[in-house]
A = this chain, B = another copy of it.
C-alpha cells in the first residue's frame, strides 16, 4: 500500500512539473486574435510616434518586400525607408482581413488592405490603395515582432 502512495506522489509531482514547464514556455495564451490586436497597437503607435513607433514592432532580422523595389534586409535598413511616416501629410492605415497562428503559438500572419493618404506636389489630397501580408514571430524575450512585411497595389474602390 505504501508503494502505491509513493507512485501516486510521483505521478502528481511529474504532472505538476509538466504543467509548470508549459506555463513557463507559454506565459499567455496566444491566438490569431493576438495578432489582430498587435496590428491595432502598431497602427496607434505609428500614428503617435511616426517611423520610430512603427519600427519598434519590427524584429532585428526582419525583411521588407516593397512593391517596385528590391527586398530590404534588417530593421536598420528598413528604418531608413520609413521616414515618410514622420511627415504629417502622410497617413498610412490598414485593416487586417484574416489572421492565423501556428499550433505552437510562435509564428503567425495577417493579411489585409491598406490606404495611404498623402498630398501631391500641388498639395491636393491623394489616396493610394493596397494589400499587405505581415508575418509575426514570437521573439526570445516573449515579445511579438514583424519578421516579414510585403505590400502591393489594389484598384481604387471608387473606380470599379
Contacts and interface: CB of A to CB of B under 8 A. Distances in A.
Contact of A66 (B65, B101, B152): B152
Contact of A14 (B11, B102, B104, B152): B11
Interface stretch (A1-9, A39-47, A84-92): A1-9
Interface in A52-73: 63, 65-71
Given A6-B7, A131-B150, A102 B100 contact: no
Contact of A148 (B14, B65, B69, B111): B111
Interface residues of A, number: 40
Given A68-B155, A71-B97, A109 B131 contact: no
A74 interface: no
A133 B131 contact: no
Nearest to A147: B100
Contacts of A109: 109, 135, 148
A154 B65 CA distance: 9
A108 interface: yes
A75 interface: no
A151 B152 contact: yes
Given A71-B131, A152-B68, A107 B101 contact: yes
